[in-house]
Structure 1
Amino acid sequence: MRSFSLLIFLFLYIPVVVIVVFSFNAAPNVSSFTGFSLSWYLKAYSNPLAMEALLNSTIIAVSTALISTGVGSAVAIGLLGVSKTTRAIVQGSMMIGLAIPGIVIGLASLVFFSSTFSGGERLIAYLAGWPEATKLFSFGKPTVIAAHSLFCTALVVEIVLLRLRQLNPTWLEASSDLYATRSESLRRVVLPFLTPAMMAGGLLSFVLSFDEFIIAFFVSGAKPTLPVYMFASVKRGVTPELNAIATTTLTVSILVSVLAYVMIKRSQYKA
């Protein structure tokens, strides 16, 4: 059994190791390794298209994390005051959102935004007499943020709810006995208790949005994210420059994921 697990582990991670190693390859191809060099990292970081895509991904990931954390935490806290049936229905809906394949969400987002933009443009053009309104709406960072926030919010809700289940009800009773209002109890008792879980949910949302490709491919338009840029570039062949970009993305994802894991563990220990 251990040998089988080791084989699976090697099958999954050896290609990743190869990409990392060949990102430092001095040769201009990935068929042979001739020595270590940072030249491909320098070339990648001086590529304006790659840097623009990296900036787009960072802006989208940060925005998605902030929106998902705020909305998801508010939904989770609001579920405390509803019946078990309502809570189960909302949680079930959230889980369905997490289970839907990315290609379905991407296609649905594309159809929704296309219909909305078309209708909005025609309405503004009709009401304001502005024919140029057809150029008012377009796909870009806002559409990717909206689509990514859809499933990331569901993730935050589940993480915060797990933390809320550990909340001692006597703390809220004690807060009420001390004449604290609901808003004061929320600000001084509930939110500090939920902070580690909220931070963990935000960090995981950042990672999921930063690395996500399928949905962004459908709705990014002329502002591609880094995964979309890499997909377009790999059609021309895999180069050490792409390996350098992939290694950078991998490093960011691992660091943020580890930080999220630490925050989740911290919230468990402080329960």
Structure 2
Amino acid sequence: MAVHGTTEATAVRTPNRGLRWLRRNIIAIAGLCTLGYLILPNIVVMVFSFNKPNGRFNYQWQRFSTDAWSDPCGVADLCGSLGLSLQIALWATVGATVLGTMIAFALARYRFRARSGVNTLIFLPMAMPEVVMAASLATLFLNMGIQFGFWTILIAHIMFCLSFVVTAVKARVMSMDPRLEQAAQDLYASPLQTFLRVTLPIAAPGIASGALLSFALSFDDFIITNFNAGSTVTFPMFVWGSAQRGTPVQINVIGTAMFLVAVLCVVVGQLAGARKRSKRS
């Protein structure tokens, strides 16, 4: 009887121990599953960048090859469209970051008429489908007689990136402690010195996150670009056109390189932040 009771107690404790472990680690497990789900497409793209397909489409694994990596610009117009996308994304990031930062400070620090209306207009591009803004801007450019090309794409990208910058910077500015600026003024700092040495460094993480988000959105955009590009071909448009007649392996090479650069930037940023925190402590 004693042996039988001990066996039943062990059987009861074992499931309970497993359930307790699952409850303690359920968030970590869910996070790892989500991370794996997000990274899996990038891994597939990375693997197929070393493929050598027999036909025009790079959808089935044939054999290992580094030919595409040795000649990433071997496909006509690929690097040209990539350079154009990088150029547009860079200028769109600069324009959206400068304008968005000024708008964010104005909305967070000042009270003026139609302030709530401006807030609503700022968030509209984030709420509405991209095709609505794309068609609206295309109609505006047509009515104004503006020729589609580089400048229409740039204006359109600044327009839809602006909302994301304002959101990121405004959240950072509203969380700032105003006593820090007041302390700088008590120490006889001029308004410009206060802004450059106190306000701007505190707001810098929000500005940087808005700029990075703008760059990623601009470089990756297809819908708004397609409506306002005319005969200009950016990298996403090149990929879309290539998918209809044959996908070159070099597209996977460019995608893998962009992914690795993004991961490197994140790792460097995390290491720099950890180093700063360790120095302060």
TM-score norm. by structure 2 comes to 0.75
Residue 20 (1) aligns with residue 46 (2): yes
Is the contact between residue 74 and residue 250 of structure 2 (CA under 8 Å) also seen in structure 1? no
Q: Note closer, same or farther for the CA distance 1:164–1:65 as it changes in structure 2 (3 Å cut).
A: same
Selected match of 1:62 from 86, 90, 100: 90
Counterparts of residues 1-271 of structure 1 (less than 5 Å): 13-29=39-55, 30=58, 32-83=60-111, 87-117=115-145, 138-255=147-264
Q: Please give the alpha-carbon distance, in whole angstroms, between the structure 1 residues aligned to 2:128 and 2:242.
A: 28
| Cα displacement string for residues 160-191 of structure 1 (whole angstroms, at most 9, x for unaligned residues) | 11111221111221222233333332222211
Is the contact between residue 98 and residue 155 of structure 1 (CA under 8 Å) also seen in structure 2? yes
Is the contact between residue 75 and residue 250 of structure 2 (CA under 8 Å) also seen in structure 1? no
Q: Please give the alpha-carbon distance, in whole angstroms, between the structure 2 residues aligned to 1:209 and 1:75.
A: 20
How many residues are treated as equivalent by the alignment?
Answer: 251
Question: Which residue in the other structure is 1:131 paired with?
Answer: none
Q: Report the residue type matching 1:21 in the other structure.
A: V
Q: Note closer, same or farther for the CA distance 1:147–1:252 as it changes in structure 2 (3 Å cut).
A: farther
| Cα displacement string for residues 64-100 of structure 1 (whole angstroms, at most 9, x for unaligned residues) | 1111111111111122332398554433322222112
TM-score norm. by structure 1 comes to 0.78
Q: Report the residue type matching 2:77 in the other structure.
A: L
Is the contact between residue 196 and residue 264 of structure 1 (CA under 8 Å) also seen in structure 2? no
Q: Please give the alpha-carbon distance, in whole angstroms, between the structure 2 residues aligned to 1:85 and 1:213.
A: 36
Percent identical: 29
Question: Which residue in the other structure is 2:9 paired with?
Answer: none
Say which one has the larger Rg.
2
Q: Note closer, same or farther for the CA distance 1:218–1:176 as it changes in structure 2 (3 Å cut).
A: same
| Cα displacement string for residues 103-153 of structure 1 (whole angstroms, at most 9, x for unaligned residues) | 1111111111111126xxxxxxxxxxxxxxxxxxx2222111111111211
Q: Note closer, same or farther for the CA distance 1:239–1:55 as it changes in structure 2 (3 Å cut).
A: closer
Is the contact between residue 137 and residue 156 of structure 2 (CA under 8 Å) also seen in structure 1? yes
Q: Note closer, same or farther for the CA distance 1:139–1:2 as it changes in structure 2 (3 Å cut).
A: same
Is the contact between residue 76 and residue 157 of structure 1 (CA under 8 Å) also seen in structure 2? yes
Q: CA deviation at 1:267?
A: 11
Q: Note closer, same or farther for the CA distance 1:5–1:113 as it changes in structure 2 (3 Å cut).
A: same
Is the contact between residue 69 and residue 156 of structure 1 (CA under 8 Å) also seen in structure 2? yes
Q: Which moved more, 1:218-227 or 1:85-94?
A: 85-94
Q: Please give the alpha-carbon distance, in whole angstroms, between the structure 1 residues aligned to 2:230 and 2:186.
A: 55
Q: Please give the alpha-carbon distance, in whole angstroms, between the structure 1 residues aligned to 2:209 and 2:202.
A: 13
Which ranges of structure 1 fall in alignment gaps of 5 or more residues? Answer: 119-137
Is the contact between residue 69 and residue 250 of structure 2 (CA under 8 Å) also seen in structure 1? yes
